Amino acid sequence: MATFSYQAINESGSMVSGEVEAESTDMANNILAARGYLPSKVVEKGQILPSAFSKRLIERFTSIKPPELILFTKQFKTLIRAGVPILKIFKVIENQTENIALKNILLSVSQDVEEGASL
């Protein structure tokens, strides 16, 4: 098992950080999600930089307040567990959100996925 340092947003919207032991980054993310955290950065101890994907994701969500991001992830999780197709999820959440930045992000990600990019 490896030790991962993390930064995450808790359910009240506050930034938390700490360490968690897991076999992989994905497992560390799952552990944090089970604790009710929304991971923003998970790095194995000894690594210096997060992946390029993590950097782009963090940059995209910087203009969105933590409560809005938490609501988005809860809605996304509920819809994905209900078996709703990804593109339909993005459309539904885009129509329900009032935050212009989040609407633009959802539109952009939806177009990327529709064009063949992986989520």
Q: What is the pLDDT of residue 63?
A: 72
Q: What is the pLDDT of residue 70?
A: 87
The pTM of the full predicted model, rounded to 2 decimals, is: 0.49
Tell me how far apart the alpha carbons of residues 69 and 101 are, in angstroms, rounded to a whole number.
11
Q: What is the pLDDT of residue 96?
A: 87
The answer to whether the CB of 28 falls within 8 A of the CB of 67 is no
Q: What is the pLDDT of residue 56?
A: 65
Tell me how far apart the alpha carbons of residues 102 and 27 are, in angstroms, rounded to a whole number.
27
Q: What is the pLDDT of residue 82?
A: 93
Among 31, 72, 74, 26, residue whose Cα is nearest residue 18: 31
List, for the chain, all residue ranges whose pLDDT scores fall below the cut of 50.
none
User: Terminus-to-terminus CA distance in the chain, angstroms?
Assistant: 27
